[in-house]
Amino acid sequence: MPGGGGGGGGGGGQSEREEKVSMELTEEILQSMEVGMAFRDYNGRISSMDFHKASSFLVTASDDESIRLYDVTNAACLKTINSKKYGVDLVCFTSNPATVIYSSKNGWDESLRLLSLHDNKYLRYFKGHHDRVVSLSFCSRKEWFISGSLDRTVLLWDQRVEKCQALLHVQGRPAVAYDDQGLVFAIAFGGYIRMFDSRMYDKGPFDSFSVGGDISDANVVKFSNDGTRMLLTTMDGKIHVLDSFRGTLLSTYNVKPVSSNSTLEASFSPDGMYVVSGSGDGSVYAWSVRSGKEVASWMSTEVEPPVIKWVPGSLMFATGSSELSFWIPDLSKLGSYVGAK
């Protein structure tokens, strides 16, 4: 069962939210999902997006050099901030929904920036990378974040300090992620996922998991909400799902490979039972983690993989391509819910 979202609202809204979340995700519900709302006012592809874990906010970064803040509950764009000087590539919330960390896309300044969305002010610059940052993950329990770059380094940061706390060298394009508890982080490259203890990372990885001989470039690595599973996507169009304690490869799903300047993204559903993913041909797919089988697919006229994220604690996921789309179940297609209140 997905966990209920952040703070409680007033009467009716709270019970409605509980009702919505308590509807367990099934294959039938997944198959019924379609775009319920889309924002089409982008002048470039969406390169990254992030949901705040404890509020209803979503932030997007786009090739039109904009950062946009949305209130998902009210399906409203609250703010657009332009980053014309630096461009914007990857973006993630800090623990505070009013601040984000983002990477640039101008090719001459690889600093990361801590930006206040409230008054559009830079609070801090994080300098250390010398090539494009391709992976970024914030630790929700601490003030830390981690970044991986094409310069073959992974840097660990405390958002309160400009200087990086640690530098790790890697042999390839790195994908990085913290688990939800902030106890461990993963660095994937060269066919392996390496696991580090957040408090003792200087001792090196405490475990290393193979992903079945796929040595193509790592794209994204993620943990399920409960931390029991991980996924890794690669440029070859493979989505590997592993047991995050034993490192066992549970299943591998195949989609169209992606080009070197694209990123294949996938996301666990809140209950960790399903994976939704983009594809090198722009399509979206869903698989059951338990059976390993494809349960749904949505074809697209796009030609690049969308960024894709599941909305925390909700029966909804979002995709970002040349537009931002929110996917919701069409209850009229569900026999068991037709006629229900």
Domain residue extents for the chain: 25-40+258-340, 46-169, 173-254
The confidence score (pLDDT) of residue 337 equals 56
Reply yes or no on domain 46-169 having CATH 2.130.10.10.
Answer: yes
The confidence score (pLDDT) of residue 8 equals 31
Name which CATH class applies to 173-254.
mainly beta
Structure tokens at 218: 């790592």
Q: Where does the pLDDT of residue 107 fall: very low under 50, low under 70, confident under 90, or very high at 90 and above? A: confident
Q: Quick: pLDDT tens for 249-272.
A: 999 999 999 998 899 999 999 999
Q: Where does the pLDDT of residue 341 fall: very low under 50, low under 70, confident under 90, or very high at 90 and above? A: very low
The confidence score (pLDDT) of residue 108 equals 75
Query: How much is the pTM?
Result: 0.90
Q: Do domains 46-169 and 173-254 have the same CATH topology?
A: no
pLDDT at 213 over 70: yes
Structure tokens at 102: 């983002």
